[in-house]
Structure 1
């Protein structure tokens, strides 16, 4: 039996604006907000900033250096600033944000091993496994959230969808089960590489950011997308270690 769609819930009774279909239960399970997002043209991909309703101009004081948002996401791991991320830089970056030796080594192997070739300037593989930041958009895999578009820009509308669809307990937080549901929902057909990459990426994100309550906040996730969060965590850890040495 078709489920009745409540007026006002999905476009004020206007069939053209309804976001759920009576015979598609998944559209009820993953609702889309019909309210304004509080920022102009949220459907327009932002090249330089990760914008949401609370940060229409992106992260305050964050220097994007002319990088796209996807480039900003990985630039933290370019430890010498030459535009190329080598495996040892990935390892050092992971250590800088608090991961142990094993996870850092695993991250280095998986990330540079899987994404280096797609970003190379040549068809010939490099045994150094470099990742070229200028070409990081070529390493965008399938079965993802689509918050980054194919050129590496940030799509505010897609970012907000993560929470309207999957944040069942709190609209500004995602718990482990919700993140797991997110990665499962994003699966494209016949894309085992994308499925695996999505699970690993969000799994690492959860391990890095989860609070004592077992959730990851919306602001943390936004900061992860533009890379500003990595810099914040690294600076906090540096200050904490200096404080311990002086104590």
Structure 2
């Protein structure tokens, strides 16, 4: 597979037919300053939705294609500008923020996340038994097996995703590569995807890296809610896709650290917030449910020729979400507050209505990722 630049001078080859693994695991391709609409909906998102310089490691931000500015709510970036992204990754466990992880800090952190006593102790033994000594400043090991976060970059092991570099910085390209290579165009990873990640990222003669990656994957697998019911018999492609999506929803690691905090604080705890600054609902986080959209209510005031549909034609269910997104941008109203009444108000303000034919095609990858993140957020926010 090749990609040619705008001037037609250089060709970038990122897969070779004679080497199948390069065809199977395609790298993430930066849109290059603009969204390349390959299909439907052709929604023009603002530049803030674009991730640039993906190969450059970020010292204190963890941007992605969905959140190019990283975590900016509550001045997170400014407050933690003195920490590398890897140090911020450990910040949840360092409750007193003294830069030192004691074994009891790790145990408490895992227990707050819902792991049982036994698994929490196993995490303590594995983490502090292997990762304490590399972070010590001198030659003698720490008698309390503490992990010192100022040297946490020395704990980077092999056979991992490569998202963190050896200085503890975050590399967006490596992060996006994992989804591009192993998620088959989705923005979530299933248990089987994680298994493929372990196999694909494994380096030769690296037992410590194998063990670390396997232990982390087991934690991800065990940190799940109730498993979705699998239909009996052989599944169709659509059924498998639905099951994978439901499985990813039941796995709390499919969401951000904010959801972990929401579950860890329990129902009576202080509120947790998502990346957009909206409060999360503990009950929804515990048992997430997909919130449907009554598409025709949104479509009628938005589309010019809905009444011309032929018998058998339907408005795709996903169209409702994209209409909400367009109305949200036009009116400056948060996406999760858009309802059919807001769409009618949008029409009354004289915004140009869309033609039905332009809204029947499949969204491109960037649009799909953006929309799934918006929809996931609204499904967890309070009062919705």
* TM-score for the superposition, normalised by structure 1: 0.83
- Paired with 1:61 and 1:138, the residues of 2 have a C-alpha distance of 29
- Paired with 1:47 and 1:29, the residues of 2 have a C-alpha distance of 31
- Contact 1:76/1:93 (<8 A) preserved: yes
SS at match of 2:189: strand
- Residue 43 of structure 1 aligns with which residue? 55
SS at match of 1:17: strand
- Higher relative contact order (Cα pairs below 8 Å, separated by 6+ residues): 1
TM superposition shift of 1:85 = 0.2
- Residue 74 of structure 1 aligns with which residue? 90
Aligned positions of 1:26-37 closer than 5 A? 26-36=21-31
Answering whether residue 8 of structure 2 is matched by residue 19 of structure 1, we say: no
TM superposition shift of 1:199 = 1.3
Deviations, residues 160-200 of structure 1 (Å, cap 9, x unaligned)? 101110002x5111111111100111111100110111111
Structure 2: stretches of 5+ with no match in the other structure: 33-49, 229-245, 271-281, 283-384
Structure 1 residues 146 and 218: alpha-carbon distance in aligned structure 2, compared to 1, 3 A threshold? farther
- Paired with 2:55 and 2:207, the residues of 1 have a C-alpha distance of 29
TM superposition shift of 1:82 = 1.1
Which residue, out of 148, 156, 167, partners 2:164? 148
Answering whether residue 206 of structure 2 is matched by residue 194 of structure 1, we say: no
Structure 1 residues 15 and 180: alpha-carbon distance in aligned structure 2, compared to 1, 3 A threshold? farther
Of the two, which has the highest radius of gyration? 2
Which residue, out of 59, 65, 74, partners 1:53? 65
Answering whether residue 93 of structure 2 is matched by residue 101 of structure 1, we say: no
- Residue 247 of structure 2 aligns with which residue? 214
Answering whether residue 141 of structure 2 is matched by residue 122 of structure 1, we say: no
- Residue 3 of structure 1 aligns with which residue? none
TM superposition shift of 1:16 = 4.0
TM superposition shift of 1:92 = 0.5
- Paired with 2:178 and 2:162, the residues of 1 have a C-alpha distance of 10
SS at match of 1:188: coil
TM superposition shift of 1:131 = 0.3
Which residue, out of 230, 233, 236, partners 2:260? 233
Structure 1: stretches of 5+ with no match in the other structure: 1-8, 224-228
TM superposition shift of 1:232 = 4.3
- Paired with 2:111 and 2:158, the residues of 1 have a C-alpha distance of 28
